[in-house]
Structure 1
Amino acid sequence: MASSTISAPARTGADRTPWTAVALRARSAVRAGARETARVIRPVTWVLIAVTAGLWIAGELLGWWELVVAAVVLSVILVVCALMLIGRTAYEIGLDLTRDRVVVGERAVGALTLTNAGGRAIRPSRVVLPVGAGRGVFDVPRLGAEQSVEELFAIPTSRRGVLPVGPVSVVRGDPLGLFERVARRDEPVDLFVHPKTVTFGGQTLGFMRDLDGLPTADLAPDDVSFHALREYQPGDDLRHVHWRSTARTGQMMVRQYEQTRRSHFVIGLSTLAADYRVPDEFELAISVAGSLGLRALRDSRQVDVHVPGRTLPAATGKRLLDSLAALGHSRARDGRVEDLAGAVAAAVPLASVVVLVCGSSVDAARLRAACARLPFGTRVLAVRAQDGAAPAMNRIGDASVVTVGALEQVAPALAKVLS
């Protein structure tokens, strides 16, 4: 008689899915609880917990009631401090900066408003406001339902940069500092600390006549942008006499033109750390670039600012200063001022004026090599930032080289060279 074997049906993946999902959710909950516990317990508290456990064990093994009493006291303290974390911290937080853009040295003033929008009171707590690498701490009193409190603060700015202000953290803890529960509120706000700049007047940026340029308010006897007719003056070129108007009016009339000028102003700013002997030179170079860019924008010129590897946004004065505020040293291998000049020549071959800004570590030979890479016919100016140096001017080929040692020297030095 043949025997038959009956096998149990195999379990499919669908049969295991519910149990697997439960296990995964449980594991996620355990991990989340462990992370939350680790955030709540301060490092000194872990030490105290270890000491308490050691006292319990030593007291039981050695039979010393003194150790057991000490363990009981420490256990009570830990429990009481942990219970003080219970409670709501659901503030409605408003962070308002009076100005989110300041100049180095100015104070940024703001206000922090906390409101209890719930129906129950919120116990006293602390509020931490991170500002860059530092932070401000505010003690918030007990707030009843619908009550609010406003805290004013001032942020000193001693260095250029972009400082993240926030996010605001509400801290609930105990008087001994054993446990601390932190709840983040609101979103961070960027505070732009712009570099210092100077203003200078006059037509200091220079132009070049160009057929594709923009017409200006300056009149000329010869150009391509016709402006009006005027009476003939001795010395006028007879080629520009308008004979039809002369015949109609009985007086000799000549054409007058508006000068067309190329208005593409380019700044090449070296950000290579090796080009600057001290950090203050780099800050001075950034201030020079910002001052030149703002002047060109006020003159309604097209402005490009090139640094090694990229072009900074410079469509408006605010965007230009924001870009300079966030600028740091370049680590690119092709970040030398010579390579920067070559990149400018390739990107803007029809620029009217190119200003190269660098530090005192760039010698005359390197500047000569950099200027030689710029397009022929472009007016070239090099500005060397040398901390503490007296202003000086010289020429390298067709380029003017200005050395400045302080921001106050920039305006008179550039006015002489570019006028």
Structure 2
Amino acid sequence: MTLGPTRTTIPEEARKEGVLAVVIGRAVGAAAAASAYLGGAVRAVQGVVTPLGWCVLASGLVALVVGYAFGLLEVVALGWALVVLIAAAALWLVGRGAGQVRLVVPIPRVVVGEQAEARLVAVNPGRRRFGGVQLELPVGDAVVERVLPGLARGGEYEVQFRIPTDRRGIVPIGPARTVRADPIGLMRREIVWSETAELKVHPRTVPIAALSSGFIRDLEGSPTRDLTSSDIAFHALREYVPGDDRRYIHWKSSAKTGTFMVRQFEESRRSRLMVVLDLETGAYASDAEFELAVSAAASVGARAIRDARSVSFVVSGRQSGRTGSMRELPTVSRDRLVDALCVVEREERVALLPDVARSAAESLHGLSLAVLVTGTARGTGPLRSAASRVPAGVDVVAVQCSPEGEPTARAVSGLTVFGIGYLEDLRAMLARSASVA
């Protein structure tokens, strides 16, 4: 006997439960979508109605309720008048226009004091008239306002904005927006046309010629007083001792003396410059001192990068227990370095300068010169302590900044301390050091 395929019957109750679950799931999804849509609509309304508009709307609704409840026709008329006023303000905002507004920042990087500008360009490629609204452009903490005139088809309007560059930093520009509002101020509609751009205001720097000759002479490696058995800088001959490399035997001298003589070399090291910028608030007597210190440190670092030197730029980091910490800024290019210096500021709870120097010396190897840049409130004691944390054989120069002060140069226990009042003083000091070296 052949058995045919069996058919499983689903109980009626289970089928009804499955249908009910599907219906409930769809209802929940529709409710969630409606809630999201309603929430978006509420947020849109909240972003359009001004506080004055909410007051007028609430007053109108209250007037209608009270007027109809107590039969006060005058109050009812007032309520409807306020509601109509709100409706008229809403109709005033209808329409976006076919225009376009572009934000242009021609130069994204400038130096303190240089002229910088941004441009807003409005065009109307459509058939409908575009304009008659207010243009707003946030620039830093301020908002620049202009009235956009009505533009016919193909019309174009351009306006320029001056950007303040009196202080180092990053100035946010934008987003550019147009604002349409009713004459009473019940509703306000903003249309954003661009992203936020940034203008980087770099610290002022001066060219330092000393780094290209004299002050740091070993671009590919300069001889030191440390002697080694193999290098490129020949020093002298000495007698052969077991274990010496036979490749360095000087055969002519060995033949003359009758004793094996080997070459001895001076160990050469590649130059590596370390610039340490003190960020502790107590190290500076004023903001002007700190700005001069940033410019001085940036000048040294930028010149070293331009000369293709190995350079590490270190600033004070957060204090962690008894050990100081340091933060290293990027030095892959001059722009990357001065971009990072746009945002450095004095801080209260940072490591002391000696702790920063110690942390940097432990992290960085192959140093040949360390430049410590600080203010006049930093005494000689902390400078000597910071210099003592640097490995032996590394020259240490401290630069103390005092705006409009007299340039000074002194040596304190092997530490060279320069006092500068202007950036040009730093260039002269380093040039003199290079000529003496």
Match of 2:356 among 337, 340, 351: 340
1:214 CA displacement? 6.9
What's 2:215 paired with? Answer: 206
CA, structure 1 residues 82+302, in 2 after alignment: closer, same or farther (shift >3 Å)? same
Other structure's SS at 1:344 match: helix
Alignment map for 1:52-67 (pairs within 5 Å): 52-60=60-68, 65-67=73-75
What's 1:374 paired with? Answer: 390
Which one has the bigger strand percentage? Answer: 1
Q: 1:281 aligned to 2:289?
A: yes
What's 1:349 paired with? Answer: 365
The 1-side partners of 2:207 and 2:17 are apart by: 84
CA contact (8 A) 2:116 2:162 kept: yes
- The one-character-per-residue Cα deviations of 1:189-218 (angstroms, maximum 9, x if unpaired) are 2111011122243457712669x7179xxx
Q: 1:363 aligned to 2:379?
A: yes
Residue identity opposite 1:71 in structure 2: G
1:137 CA displacement? 1.7
CA contact (8 A) 2:269 2:366 kept: no
What's 1:197 paired with? Answer: 205
The 1-side partners of 2:175 and 2:37 are apart by: 26
What's 1:232 paired with? Answer: none
Other structure's SS at 2:116 match: strand
Other structure's SS at 2:37 match: helix
1:175 CA displacement? 2.0
CA, structure 1 residues 87+199, in 2 after alignment: closer, same or farther (shift >3 Å)? same
- In structure 1, list runs of 5 or more residues that go unmatched: 1-5, 216-222, 227-242, 244-258
Q: 1:311 aligned to 2:328?
A: yes
The 2-side partners of 1:164 and 1:132 are apart by: 5
- The one-character-per-residue Cα deviations of 1:306-335 (angstroms, maximum 9, x if unpaired) are 1134211122222221111122334654x2
Other structure's SS at 1:107 match: coil
RMSD: 3.0
The 1-side partners of 2:222 and 2:179 are apart by: 60
Other structure's SS at 1:382 match: strand
- In structure 2, list runs of 5 or more residues that go unmatched: 1-11, 224-230, 235-251, 253-266, 318-325
The 2-side partners of 1:325 and 1:394 are apart by: 31
Alignment map for 1:145-294 (pairs within 5 Å): 145-203=153-211, 206-207=215-216, 213=221, 224=232, 262-294=270-302
1:123 CA displacement? 4.4
Residue identity opposite 2:112 in structure 1: V
Q: 1:407 aligned to 2:423?
A: yes
1:186 CA displacement? 2.0
Aligned length: 375
The 1-side partners of 2:348 and 2:98 are apart by: 45
Match of 1:81 among 75, 84, 89: 89
CA contact (8 A) 2:128 2:153 kept: yes
Percent identity for Structure 1 against Structure 2:
32
What's 1:137 paired with? Answer: 145
1:29 CA displacement? 0.5
CA, structure 1 residues 398+209, in 2 after alignment: closer, same or farther (shift >3 Å)? farther
CA, structure 1 residues 148+209, in 2 after alignment: closer, same or farther (shift >3 Å)? closer
Other structure's SS at 1:118 match: coil
Other structure's SS at 1:346 match: helix
What's 2:34 paired with? Answer: 26
CA contact (8 A) 1:382 1:401 kept: yes
What's 1:397 paired with? Answer: 413
CA, structure 1 residues 205+270, in 2 after alignment: closer, same or farther (shift >3 Å)? farther
The 2-side partners of 1:99 and 1:205 are apart by: 36
The 2-side partners of 1:209 and 1:147 are apart by: 62
CA contact (8 A) 2:402 2:420 kept: yes
CA contact (8 A) 2:60 2:81 kept: no
What's 2:114 paired with? Answer: 106
Residue identity opposite 1:195 in structure 2: P
CA contact (8 A) 1:161 1:192 kept: yes
CA contact (8 A) 2:98 2:127 kept: no
Match of 2:340 among 314, 323, 327: 323
Residue identity opposite 1:206 in structure 2: F
CA contact (8 A) 1:206 1:353 kept: no
The 2-side partners of 1:341 and 1:352 are apart by: 14
1:145 CA displacement? 3.1
CA contact (8 A) 2:271 2:366 kept: no
1:67 CA displacement? 4.0
